[in-house]
Amino acid sequence: MSCITFQQYVYVVSMMIICVFLRYSEANCSFQAIFNFGDSNSDTGSMPMSSPNGMTYFKKPAGRSCDGRLIIDFLAQALGLPSPNPYSQSSGGGGADYTHGANFASQGATVKPPDSSNKDWVSKYYLPIQLNQMKTFASSISKGGGSSNLPSADILGKSLYVIYIGQNDVTGVLGSAGVGGVKQNLPQVANEIVNTVKELYGLGGRTFMVLNTGPMGCYPAFLVQYPHGDSDVDQAGCMTSYNNAVSEFNQMLKGALFGARQQLPDANLVYVDTYSALLNIFQNPSSHGLKYSTTTCCGAGGGAYNFNPQVMCGKSGTVNGSSVTASACGDPYNYISWDGVHTTEAANKIVANAIVSGYYTEPAFDLHKFCDVQPIG
């Protein structure tokens, strides 16, 4: 077999790079941008993160509470778009690129405004503040759209709007009022999420994905910190009572979206059942190529959950007189839970693939009908 010359090698590599570029640049998609609203489950960098966050894909901290990419990153990849840059970067003078959307999500964000009971651990950028930031952004592109780092003024009607928030509100209610507090305290949370959709519709948005809250009763942090007996644990090791409480909130959200759908008949209001997608993974990890269900990858304490609330992922502290460090496992691709509260890149990829294919969406929403969907990898 003859050897190729260096010039021929360079030519072949160059053509491969061009083909990859064209594959993404020519991807046909109805959505030219993504605007995301949420908490740490979809925050792509509103604040700095420390190691070992980011270890899997980015090889360094990348502003995400995860070993790698989030669901929103994979959705963007599927649409042939870059992950939306955090809106918080717009005030830093760094010239972040917003031509394909923006991410308003914030670590610790809630739907309802912070109050005296949670102001020390939740973000000041709760959902109505994120909406106001979006309104400011919309105003700025109407004045200067098409500039080097802003989209054109007509982008708002050609975008996918993703809302993934509510977990911190549910956490607060379960912690203060227990499972019985859901009916009294969470209907307004569901209604506020839907009101946000209506406001975004008023700005020109027409396609919305609203992700519900995941099965918190399966998360190691809640299994460790929330009291429960053996009778309250299902075969997957999840707390039935807390998952039922989350499901109750999700039904409120689903019902509120149904009502909004009747009021906005020309909009795509898609309810995404993240809860069921993740619960299926927790219940059947091996069928998804994973090994560990309710065990934390980046935690401390060992045992079934490997989670200690006194020493969070990447941190060190003293527990019972001993120095303890919450370090990461060497194989996060085998885990569902990254740090006891957030999911791993591996789990996020599974959920994103299901969403892209139209599973766990109501009404059924297959992105392939709107875009030349790119493989998630």
Please state whether 323 falls in left (phi above 0), alpha (psi between -120 and 50) or beta. beta
Residue 300 lies in a domain: no
pLDDT computed for residue 365 by the predictor: 95
Is residue 349 a contact partner of residue 376, using CB atoms and an 8 Å limit?
A: yes
Q: Convert the pLDDT of each residue in 190-199 to its tens digit.
A: 999 999 999 9
- CA gap 262, 260 in Å, rounded: 5
pLDDT computed for residue 142 by the predictor: 86
Residue 166 lies in a domain: yes
Which whole number is the average pLDDT over 1-13? 49
Residue 286 lies in a domain: no
Which residue, 259, 92, 291, is CA-closest to 187? 259
- Token match 């919450």: residue? 326
Residue 170 lies in a domain: yes
- CA gap 150, 145 in Å, rounded: 6
Q: Convert the pLDDT of each residue in 301-316 to its tens digit.
A: 999 999 999 999 999 9
Is residue 90 a contact partner of residue 72, using CB atoms and an 8 Å limit?
A: no
Residue 5 lies in a domain: no
Is residue 249 a contact partner of residue 166, using CB atoms and an 8 Å limit?
A: yes
Residue 67 lies in a domain: yes
pLDDT computed for residue 104 by the predictor: 98
DSSP 8-state assignment for residue 222? H
Percent of the chain with pLDDT over 90: 83
Q: State yes or no: pLDDT of 143 exceeds 90.
A: no
pLDDT computed for residue 120 by the predictor: 80
- Token match 């918080």: residue? 88
- CA gap 161, 201 in Å, rounded: 10
Give catalytic residue positions: 40, 339, 342
pLDDT computed for residue 13 by the predictor: 44
Q: Is 199 exposed, middle or buried (0-12, 13-18, 19+ CB in 10 A)?
A: middle
CATH number of residue 363's parent domain: 3.40.50
Residue 89 lies in a domain: yes
Q: Is 240 exposed, middle or buried (0-12, 13-18, 19+ CB in 10 A)?
A: middle
pLDDT computed for residue 4 by the predictor: 58
pLDDT computed for residue 95 by the predictor: 72
What's the domain count of the chain? 1
Q: State yes or no: pLDDT of 65 exceeds 60.
A: yes
Domain that holds residue 108: 30-276+345-369
Residue 159 lies in a domain: yes
